[in-house]
Structure 1
Amino acid sequence: MGQISIGLRRAVCVAVLALVVLPITAVLTAPGAAAETRKRSQAQAAAASARRMLTQLKVAGALSIRGYSRKRFQPRWEHHKGKCNTREAALARDARKVRKNAACRPVKGTWYSPYDGKVLKSERHVDVDHVVPLAYAWRSGAKRWSQAKRRAFANDLTRPELVTVSHSANIAKGGQGPQSWRPQRRAYWCRYATSWITVKRHYRLFVTRDERVALLNMLRTC
């Protein structure tokens, strides 16, 4: 009987300990694991959608740059809301703790540049980049658009065409496509490729063969 009682007490202690430890372990590990799983699933779903959209894009050779001028798209940033133009609206959207002056210009804030991971605390070091560059869009079919459609493209805050980045990253990118330039941060390649494809799909711009291969390679990082 004594041996049975000791064994029973041990079994009860182990069971009680398990009831205490397991919930604590779940609390400590589940939120992080769940968030990571959710993030991975979202990235994979976005990549799958982007691949489908990419198959719907026409593949063709790049058009001539002849006739291109930034002014054909954007003589200036368009008026957006109140006193704000599109650039100012994008800067306010992407900033933390932004403060604007009476003319809507951000005079204080913190911006994160997803291309290179830089944290910027001055509006002077920040650019609003066109994910699909204007010159690249021109060669992808936009040269055949109306002036009004080109202006709408250059000021589009609805699609993922405008992103706040560091001035240095924007200069390095220039008018290049993904076959020639990619964000310095490999962790952003998935988002960059899906944004690029989303914009091109919406505006029915075509892709070159090299561009398509580069986009598919970037989507493999999702």
Structure 2
Amino acid sequence: MPLFEAINRLPVAAEHREGYKRDLYKHWNKGLNSGDGCDTRREVILAEAVTAPQVAAGCKLAGGSWRSPYDNLVVTDAGRLDVDHFVPLAEVYDSEQTPWSAARREAYANDQASPDTLIAVSAASNRSKSDKDQAELLPSDGSYQCTYAPTWVGTKLRWDLAADENEVQAFLGLAEDCPNTTVVYESAV
């Protein structure tokens, strides 16, 4: 669906940070393939490799290369990558319309059913982003912003998350800059 239409489908509500703790979201569980020795984090890194790394016992990664879309850097050391929750955990908590169960929070924190929930990026770009939403920070690589906006909106729609008024205004501004952008998502509900 067009980005403008997707933005209009987002519930609008004030954020609520009180009570947030990162450990409410159990992340980096055994991943999709519990027998491969790789947790969710490493499975995402492996899936997003441009050049596949060698995988040793204990899912130790050597070699390989990745492109970090937030800052358009090529990373050749998996240790210099972070796996980012595209919509940060704190933002998810702020945007839950009703309190989530521990199981739903774990499902979000390890969601590999969508290619958009988790993303391998340079550690520096992830730490710069932190838990900021679109109204506070956009990726430094301007060419990625027309991908960033629909991915954020699609992730919020996938998980039935609200957006505050500042986010909606930021989305609308990006939608004007990205008129042919569409949002694709499948509900996780």
- The answer to whether the superposition gives a TM-score over 0.5 is yes
3-state SS in 1 of match to 2:90: helix
What is the deviation of 1:51?
2.4
Given the alignment of the two structures, is residue 67 of structure 1 paired with residue 19 of structure 2, yes or no? yes
Given the alignment of the two structures, is residue 87 of structure 1 paired with residue 41 of structure 2, yes or no? yes
Task: State, as a whole percentage, how many aligned pairs show the same letter.
Answer: 32
**What do the CA deviations read for 1:113-144 (whole angstroms, capped 9, x no partner)?**
00001111111211111110000110111770
Question: 2:48 is matched by which residue type in structure 1?
Answer: D
Given the alignment of the two structures, is residue 55 of structure 1 paired with residue 8 of structure 2, yes or no? yes
Give the TM-score normalised by the residue count of structure 2: 0.86
In the alignment, is the contact (CA less than 8 A) between 1:106 and 1:123 conserved in 2? yes
C-alpha distance in 2 between matches for 1:116 and 1:125: 13
Structure number, greater radius of gyration: 1
Flag structure 1 segments of 5+ consecutive residues without an equivalent. 1-45
Alignment CA distance shift 1:121-1:205 (3 Å): same
Of residues 180, 184, 195, the one that matches 2:140 is 184
In the alignment, is the contact (CA less than 8 A) between 2:97 and 2:162 conserved in 1? no
**What do the CA deviations read for 1:199-222 (whole angstroms, capped 9, x no partner)?**
110111000111011112223333
Give the TM-score normalised by the residue count of structure 1: 0.74
C-alpha distance in 1 between matches for 2:85 and 2:119: 7
| Residues matched between the structures, number | 173
Q: What's the Cα RMSD here?
A: 1.4
Flag structure 2 segments of 5+ consecutive residues without an equivalent. 179-189
